[in-house]
Amino acid sequence: MSRLLEVDRIRLSFKGVRAIDGVSFHVDEGELFAIIGPNGAGKTSIFNCLNQVYRPQEGDIRWKGESIMGLKPNKTAELGIARTFQNIALFPHMTVIENILTGRHVRMKQGWLAGAIWLGPAKKEELENRFKVEDIVDFLEIEQWRKHPVGMLPYGVQKRVELGRALAMDPELLLLDEPVAGMNLEETEDMARFILDIQDELGVSMILVEHDMGLVMDIADRVMVLDFGRKIADGRPAEVQRNPDVIKAYLGEEFEPAD
Amino acid sequence: MRGRPQLYTSYAADQALLNTGTKRLSFALFGVVLLCLPLGFIPGFRWAADADWMLVLAEVAILFIAALGLNLLTGLAGQVSLGHAFFMGVGAYVAAILGSPEGPLWGLGLPIWVWLPAAGLVAAAIGVLIAPTSFRVRGLYLAIVTLGLVFIGEHLFRNLDFITGGSQSGRTFPPLEFKFWKEETPFIDFATDGDWFGVELTGQAKTYYLMLGLALIAGLVAKNIQRTRAGRAFQSIRDRDIAAEITGVDEFRYKTIAFALSSFFAGVAGALFASFVGRTIPEAFGLPLSVEVIAIVLIGGAGVVSGMGMGAAFVIVMPLIVRTITEWLTQVAKTGEGVFQKIADVLVSTGTFDPGLVSASAGSGPGLNVFQLNQVLYGLLIVGFIIFEPLGLYGIWLRVRNYWKGWPFTY
């Protein structure tokens, strides 16, 4: 397994607040890596650093050995880092098909001029990519909503469309920010199935941020635990679960009754 | 899938512009009606062959092109701009410099195939210069920046009187005619009557055909941009800019492209408008023109190409109706009798000392004149449409269509 992503002691602060404090980790090809931690631990901030929406003040982020620090966010998308958001960030006025086609943006080439002419390269490219989009629609079982504006769709479906848009980018690394937050058991299990399928069939590496511990412990290969911007543990799910620091972060100090 | 023509059997059929039989049929019918209007034999539309109406429809086509530009920027890319009139003015004066005959004011006397594209390109270049501001300021603040642009533009136009002729007399613009180069007699002109392919046409009808053709091309280009990669990039920036960037859309690049394309349409429309009117003063490219284009976009339905046609027709025809009604009311107030005369007298002002809501001609009494009343109505309509029907006339059309689709069932 070769190393895909390497995060080296990044530090991010907003004025006085240390959001991320010297966190290091790495993700290998084909791996499902989970980041957990209480609210405000800095999980989403790490995603924003990987996308270069936030610029860490210190440390380095390397993609296949090369630093991506200072790139524009859309360049990270071109490299192959795709992302879904904690609070769905679809394009609400566009249809499901259009949203997923927008995900194809980085893999398409024709500019506005070819588009304006339509006949020729633009038409050909639109059609080719439509086939790719239909594969994703098929994979995520959202056929019936194809032409609906996504703003009108139920929450669980929107989450799936968002996953579809990320998949359309042909990513090598998928950042999933709470993919099952607010979902019922059935929807959660559907999503878990999609995540495992993405790993097995498409071979995409993933970083999963999630509060649903059952899901994380079931499907993650490795888990990192954050608390107040610091890494307090990492390892296989079973090891992490037994780690006393982790138990302390989630449940608080053990109460010792005075005798 | 024989016998089920409503089902798509290929993605290509699904992506087609006119992807249903109904759309194809209605578009063809609409096209035939538009083509035959000047000939004056379509029952119910004979009045439209009248020279005045031909000009009104040609103006609708020009403003349709202008609105397509603003629609790209505001409707698709979500960047509110009040500066459209400025870009139209730039287009108009570039056309004047290049196309007007040599005289006391600048003019090179070049043919339309030089000045029309050049008007668009120069406006687009200025649009590219303005675009970076949209990266620093958003929403209302961008509206204010572009509002400033209109005033700067008006000031410049007024003072560059060796190009624009100044506020007093204005200047003439290049005539609508096709020449190879600078020769005296054009091979197609739109000022005089003549026959095309054996059909006798007035100059106005010829102008109408020219504008109709250009509007069709512009509409097709706008629609094609909208449904391909760049169009989706614009819409993604409008809907959620950060998510768009993380999805790989270069926000800066696409905002710049949106400004450039929008200004190109504005420049071309401005040049056509000036050439169509013939002579105009710098003040014609002031805020009221911007408001008129915004009214078209919002009334027609922001983001919808066909809506721009409906909006342009509405915004051009509405003042005519308002004027006709006002003139009729004035007539009633002066010569009518009974209760109708009383009502009309309250509504219109017939002389300097007669109170009333509106007067038929400017400066003939207290109250608003017809032009001002139109401005008020634009304002009310914009507010009304934003609150009650954000999709504009297109939204109303959708609701009517969906009602009849399901008829006689309620859904």
Same domain? For A206 and A249 the reply is yes
pLDDT tier for residue A121 given thresholds of 50, 70 and 90: very high
Helices A155-168, A121-139: inter-axial angle, 10-degree rounding = 130
Q: Across the interface, do B224 and A122 touch by the CB < 8 Å criterion?
A: yes
Residue B221 has its nearest CB partner, among A74, A116, A127, at A116
- Cross-chain CB nearest to A126 (options B15, B242, B257): B15
Residues of A in contact with B231 (CB under 8 A): 115
Q: Which has the closest alpha carbon to B391: B20, B17, B71, B36?
A: B71
State CA B169 to chain mean position distance: 25
Domain boundary among A170, A192, A221: A170
Same domain as A200, residue A144: no
Chain B residues closer than 8 Å to A76 by CB: 246
Of A77, A123, A126, the CB nearest to B247: A77
pTM: 0.92
Closest chain A residue to the Cα of B233, Cα to Cα: A102
B146-170 pLDDT, tens digit per residue, is 999 999 999 999 999 899 988 888 8
Predicted confidence at residue B408, as pLDDT, reads: 80
Give the residue on B whose Cα is nearest the Cα of A106. B248
Does the distance separating the beta carbons of B224 and A117 come in below 8 Å? yes
Task: State which residues form the domain around A156.
Answer: 90-170
Q: Note the pLDDT of residue B368.
A: 78
At A10, is the secondary structure helix, strand, or coil?
Answer: strand
Q: At what angle do helices B305-335 and B370-388 cross, to 10 degrees?
A: 140
Residue A179, preceding peptide bond in cis (omega within 30° of 0):
no
- The model's pLDDT over B377-388, given as tens digits with 9 standing for 90+, comes to 888 998 999 899
Chain A contact set for B261 (CB, 8 A): 112
Helix (H, G, I), strand (E, B) or coil at A9: strand
Report CA-CA distances (Å) from A10 to A13, A46, A197: 10, 9, 31
ipTM passes above 0.90: yes
For residue A98, what is the nearest residue in chain B, using CA coordinates? Answer: B232
Chain B residues within an 8 Å CB radius of A85: 243
Whether residue B246 and residue A51 make contact (CB cut-off 8 A), yes or no, is yes
pLDDT in tens, A62-75: 999 999 999 999 99
Q: Looking at beta carbons, which residues of chain A come within 8 Å of B12?
A: 127
Beta bridge partners, B201, equal B194
Is A50 found in the same domain as A105?
A: no
Confidence at residue B1, expressed as pLDDT on a 0 to 100 scale: 44
Same domain, yes or no, for A75 and A192?
A: yes
Tens digits of residue pLDDT in B25-49:
999 999 999 999 888 887 877 888 8
Looking at A149, A170, A191, which one is the last position of a domain? A170
Residues 94-113 of A with CB under 8 A from B: 94, 98, 101-103, 105-106, 108, 110-112
Asked whether residue A223 carries a pLDDT value surpassing 80, the answer given is yes
Three-state DSSP state, A168? helix
Annotate A234-247 with b (16+ C-beta within 10 A) or e (fewer): beebeebbebeebe
Say which residues have a Cβ less than 8 Å from residue B160's Cβ, sequence separation at least 6.
B93
A39 and A156 fall within a common domain: no
Q: What is the pLDDT of residues B202-239, one digit of tens each?
A: 889 999 999 999 999 999 999 999 999 999 999 999 99
The number of domains in chain A is 2
What b-and-e string marks burial along A75-102, b requiring 16 or more CB atoms within 10 Å of the CB? bbbebbbbbbbeebbbbebbbbbbbbbb
Per residue in B246-285, pLDDT (tens digit) is 999 999 999 999 999 999 999 999 999 999 999 999 999 9
Indicate whether A75 and A95 sit together in one domain. Answer: no
CB proximity under 8 Å: A 183-222 to B: none
- State the DSSP H helix or E strand holding residue B359, giving kind and residue range, or none if neither: strand B358-359
A102 → closest Cβ in B14, B227, B232: B232
- Considering only CB atoms, B248 lies closest to which of A92, A105, A117, namely A105
Residues of B whose CB is below 8 A from A98: 232, 235
> Given A105, A137, A170, which residue is the final one in a domain?
A170
Distance CA B227, CA B297 (A): 18
Q: Do residue A104 and residue A69 come from a single domain?
A: no
Q: Chain B contact for A83, CB < 8 A?
A: yes
Q: How far apart are CA B342 and CA B333, in angstroms?
A: 7
Q: Count of A–B CB contacts within 8 Å?
A: 115
Sign of CA pseudo-dihedral B278, B281, B285, B288: negative
Q: Please name the amino acid found at residue A230.
A: R
* Residue-wise DSSP of A174-243: EEEESTTTT--HHHHHHHHHHHHHIIIII--EEEEE-S-HHHHHHH-SEEEEEETTEEEEEE-HHHHHH-
Contact in structure between B301 and B153 (CB atoms under 8 Å): no
In a domain, A158, yes or no: yes
Who's near B164: CB < 8 A, 6+ residues apart?
A: B93, B96, B105, B157, B158, B170, B171, B281, B282
Q: Is the dihedral of CA A194, A196, A199, A204 positive or negative?
A: positive
pLDDT of residue B101: 86
Same domain, A73 and A154: no
Q: What is the mean pLDDT of residues A187-200?
A: 94
Tokens of B384: 């009304």
Taking the Cβ of residue A127 and every Cβ of chain B, the question of whether any pair is shorter than 8 Å is answered with yes
The shortest C-alpha distance from A105 to chain B (Å) reads: 7
Of A102-111, B85-94, B328-337, the range with the lowest mean pLDDT is: B328-337
Q: Which of B11, B229, B261 sits opposite A130 (nearest CB)?
A: B11
Same domain, A32 and A20: yes
Is residue A85 one of the residues assigned to a domain?
Answer: no
Q: How far is B81 from chain A (nearest CA, A)?
A: 20
Of B231, B233, B239, the CB nearest to A93: B239
Mean pLDDT for the stretch of residues A105-109: 95
Phi-psi region of B171 (alpha: psi -120 to 50; beta: other; left: phi over 0): beta
Q: Are residues A73 and A190 in the same domain?
A: yes
Dist. CA B337–CA B331, nearest whole Å:
11
pLDDT at B364: 58
C-alpha B332/C-alpha B341 separation (Å) is: 6
pLDDT value at residue A259: 62
Same domain as A219, residue A117: no
Confidence of residue B302 (pLDDT cuts 50, 70, 90): very high
Here the tokens at position B137 are 């300021």
Rounding to the nearest 10 degrees, give the CA dihedral for residues A112, A118, A119, A121: 40
A12's CB contacts (< 8 A; 6+ apart) are A18, A19, A20, A42, A45, A49, A54, A55, A56, A57, A229
* More confident call, B6 vs A76: A76
For residues A35 and A208, give the distance between their C-alpha atoms in angstroms, rounded to a whole number.
6
In chain B, what are the domain boundaries?
A: 49-285, 304-411
CATH number of A40's domain: 3.40.50.300
Average pLDDT over residues B311-336: 88
Q: Say whether both A159 and A216 belong to one domain.
A: no
Strand partners, B178: B188
Q: Which residues of A touch B303 (CB under 8 A)?
A: 93
DSSP letters of B148-198?
HHHHHHHHHHHH-HHHH-HHHH-EE---SEE-SSS-SS-SEESSS-EEETT
